[in-house]
Structure 1
Amino acid sequence: MTTLPALLQRRLLADPGQPFVTYYDDSTGERTELSVKTWANWVSKTANLFADELMLDPGDDLRIDLPPHWLGTVFLGGLLSCGLSLDGTAPVAIVGPDGLGGNLASTTMACALHPFATRFTEPLPPGVLDHGVLWAGQSDVFSPIEPTELGDVVPDDRRVLTDLDPLGEEGRALLVGLLAGTGSLVLVRNLDDSGWPARSQNERATAVLRTDQPIS
């Protein structure tokens, strides 16, 4: 049985210090890089947050409404570790600042999307949980009960520069494949078209995958 915790444990034994997720937001200047070990730590904290704070059990559904972001990769790792499914109508939701208007889910956790995943600086609507407050107190160790079975996963050894949403179908498959191989992800948000060649060179990408122009 192939599961995300099993794939992650293999990478931790092989190359814990290798960069796994590198994130750029060129509108803010943010650059965040997570090694395999750091990403694993975030995934464990997130899985504990899902189970203990959001009270989610294996088989439950979760809605995540975020732009392409490094936290999306972490949330994907957490939900697969917990045996959760993505569903756009789920009663438990994770949203960014743009998702705080209108009708909120029964349980809503909001992410400020600040560097280092810090808390909101402004008050949130009543009842909305602040991810920036909750994540730091979670345990670094998570013991999966019923992680998601991933089926056949093709290992991917590339360093892929992309703007794909890691929570979309194609982005999920890409991230899991990179974890199964020796690959890594360079995720970019708000990059001007003219900046792709330089970013690819600077990050030593071996493949580029864009939402509007896939290139292998």
Structure 2
Amino acid sequence: MTPTTPADVLALLQRDPGRPRLTWYGDGPERIELSGAVLANWVAKTTNLLVEELDAAAGETVVLDLPAHWRTLVWALATWGTGATARLSPAGAPLPGTTAHARAIVTTRPSAWLDPGAVPAGTDVVAVALPGLARSFGEPLPPGVLDAAADTMTYGDVVGYVPPADPGADALVVDGEPAVTHADLVAWAVEGSAAPAGARALLRADAGTVATLRTALGVWAQDGSVVLLGREASERHSDEASLARLVASERITVP
């Protein structure tokens, strides 16, 4: 059965739970590999944090001020799992004037949101550390700012009850582009992935957060996997010989 929702996609990925589904190359030697089961576990914990700590739900908006990164894929899947709207800009920059009704702002740079009036009353800020082994944000956070690295792992591995998403409600809002509804999200992703079923696709973070989200979700919806290169890793593998070695070692079928 063809997946029609992100939850369906995660269920598909767990049919072969040990198979690598997301491989990340970051700064220096950082390489992180998530199987279908591990990816689903991260998403479940993050979904529970969003629901239990931040009251995310259908009709709410979660601003993702995050770069193209494996953690961003987790946060997007978790946001959609609550039925909420993920809002971001192509550059991952703050969206002035668009956070008035946001339930939460998830960001790698909480200090950018500390100016008076940047965060409306009732909107929570979540600080996300990008290093794979981070157990805290790594620097003191202002009172009330949630440390995702420290708190996410305390939540359950199984998502509790979450009311279903409204199919006609926005799932993804991108500055300057048409919104994508929950009903259309997976089909939109598959259309944009341009990858055959079962592909192991190479993605580069310099394509941007939106393209990374769309392609990864589309590949996963077709029972595939992705290898995502951060900006530094993309530079390291920019020459043909290095790229060829990477493609061979990771068994990439769509470079």
The TM-score, its normalising length taken from structure 1, stands at 0.84
Pairwise CA distance, 1:86: 2.0
Partner SS, residue 16 of structure 1: coil
Q: Look up the match of 1:6.
A: 8
Q: Look up the match of 1:113.
A: 130
Q: 1:156 to 1:116 in 2, by over 3 A?
A: farther
Contact 2:20 2:35 in 1 (8 A): yes
Pairwise CA distance, 1:170: 2.5
CA separation in 1, counterparts of 2:85 and 2:203? Answer: 24
Q: Does 2:111 correspond to 1:100? A: yes
Q: 1:116 to 1:75 in 2, by over 3 A?
A: same
Contact 1:178 1:185 in 2 (8 A): yes
Pairwise CA distance, 1:176: 1.8
Contact 2:14 2:37 in 1 (8 A): yes
Q: 1:117 to 1:146 in 2, by over 3 A?
A: farther
Q: 1:166 to 1:61 in 2, by over 3 A?
A: farther
Counterpart of 1:77 in structure 2: which amino acid?
L
Q: 1:5 to 1:165 in 2, by over 3 A?
A: farther
Q: 1:145 to 1:41 in 2, by over 3 A?
A: same
Q: Look up the match of 2:247.
A: 200
CA separation in 2, counterparts of 1:176 and 1:166? Answer: 15
Q: Does 2:181 correspond to 1:180? A: no
**Count of aligned positions:** 205
Pairwise CA distance, 1:56: 1.2
Partner SS, residue 144 of structure 2: coil
CA separation in 1, counterparts of 2:162 and 2:217? Answer: 17
The TM-score, its normalising length taken from structure 2, stands at 0.72
Pairwise CA distance, 1:178: 1.8
Please say which of residues 67-76 and 116-125 is displaced more in the overlay: 116-125
Aligned-residue CA RMSD (Å)? 2.3
Q: Look up the match of 1:54.
A: 54
CA separation in 2, counterparts of 1:19 and 1:74? Answer: 15
Pairwise CA distance, 1:146: 1.6
Pairwise CA distance, 1:21: 0.5
Pairwise CA distance, 1:117: 4.2
Contact 1:72 1:166 in 2 (8 A): no
Counterpart of 2:17 in structure 1: which amino acid?
P
Counterpart of 1:170 in structure 2: which amino acid?
A
Q: Look up the match of 2:25.
A: 24
CA separation in 1, counterparts of 2:141 and 2:28? Answer: 22
Q: Look up the match of 1:212.
A: none
Contact 2:23 2:226 in 1 (8 A): yes
Q: Look up the match of 2:78.
A: 78
Pairwise CA distance, 1:200: 2.1
Contact 1:69 1:165 in 2 (8 A): no
CA separation in 2, counterparts of 1:6 and 1:180? Answer: 8
Give unmatched runs, 5+ long, in structure 1.
Answer: 209-216
CA separation in 2, counterparts of 1:79 and 1:206? Answer: 30
Moved over 4 A (4+): none
Q: 1:168 to 1:2 in 2, by over 3 A?
A: same
Counterpart of 1:121 in structure 2: which amino acid?
G
Partner SS, residue 130 of structure 2: coil
**Deviations 1:24-76, CA, capped at 9 Å, x for gaps:** 11x33211110000000111111111111111111211111122211111111
